[in-house]
Structure 1
């Protein structure tokens, strides 16, 4: 008996080796086998499939996919003050891969955990910044690392009132979160992309959207 397949894993999941077996949307792909490699908190699978190339020949391929669920992120902005509200927290993967201290400046974000994207981002904004956001604007949905990670991230934006910022630190202590809330002038946030002190992909994407098409875009 294998946890995550025949018996529940630590998150109560079974049948994790069935994911993707019934896909039929691409006639050039035939799923042959799905092997569960790990189901500790997130899920790691190895999938064997046949792939028909553009010249017509078929090959047998294997890929590992990391499934952490889908997520959502939000850029909180104040157009009167021309500021954005970001978070700073420790990210071990960045730290072990060359970031000087692992403390990344980011837009608020989190996993959906069964909620709709809009519900999830309202929850995460409150948990990570202390703000209860009003109307949110859906920006786009993106596969962040499609070569190996299944996650699709839903991007949002919403205004915030600086007078309503009640806290300087946030996060769920039981989950090991220790988050500092950082308000930056929008121009400084863009400069930080250029000098590398903002190095998080989702944050860069939302800041550039805000400059090109969003609340800080130059209207002709």
Structure 2
């Protein structure tokens, strides 16, 4: 019988390197390898809390709602910085469903009745603690209750984009949509529709 993971990890030291925007820690630990040897390792973890994201689809027209906004980390990594994404946000102590409804309306101006959680995923488990909750929901023209665009005082300047699902998937293939959470939800939706 395998040893439970909690019994295979010994935390030696945990140091906070930065506690400005979020928390960056350096942890030294020992891990019991499968060959029964304890190996000392050191890793940095960035804790920004958990988040939620959602893809809206109009099933009658097979269109989806996405956003476009500037992202500095992708800009400094050689992208033009204007990233096409599904609406998303950190939970900030709210439930994933509660948070994604508020974030959706704030970013896109759409209000939906029913949201469906489809899966959870760790997006960068080698260094970031964040887990994302993924949702889908139906929308139509009556679902738009405001302009959206985000919160200017938080540095948000969000463009709302409505596209045919097929066009969004083609944009993934062409490298025009490169955000991981967005690609995951678009592919999930495409697979779901293909099974019907």
Relative to the length of structure 2, the TM-score reads: 0.95
How is 1:79-98 mapped onto 2 (pairs within 5 angstroms)? 79-98=59-78
Name the structure where helix makes up a greater proportion of residues.
2
Query: Do the aligned partners of 2:118 and 2:135 also contact (CA within 8 Å) in 1?
Result: yes
Aligned residue in 1 for 2:161:
182
Relative to the length of structure 1, the TM-score reads: 0.85
Q: What is the SS of the residue equivalent to 1:198?
A: coil
Structure 2 counterpart of 1:36, from 11, 16, 19: 16
Question: What's the CA shift string for 1:48-96, capped at 9, x where partnerless?
Answer: 1111111111111110000011000000110101100000000010111
Structure of greater relative contact order (alpha carbons < 8 Å, 6+ residues apart): 2
Structure 2 counterpart of 1:161, from 124, 140, 150: 140
1:143 aligns with 2:106: no
| CA shift for structure 1 position 217 | 2.8
CA RMSD between the two structures: 1.3
How is 1:65-80 mapped onto 2 (pairs within 5 angstroms)? 65-80=45-60
What is the distance in 2 between the residues matched to 1:134 and 1:166? 12
What is the distance in 2 between the residues matched to 1:188 and 1:168? 23
Q: What is the SS of the residue equivalent to 1:26?
A: helix
1:63 aligns with 2:43: yes
What is the distance in 2 between the residues matched to 1:134 and 1:93? 34
What is the distance in 2 between the residues matched to 1:191 and 1:53? 43
Q: What is the SS of the residue equivalent to 1:27?
A: helix
What is the distance in 2 between the residues matched to 1:105 and 1:169? 15
Identify unmatched segments of 5+ residues in structure 1: 1-23
More displaced stretch, 48-57 vs 25-34: 25-34
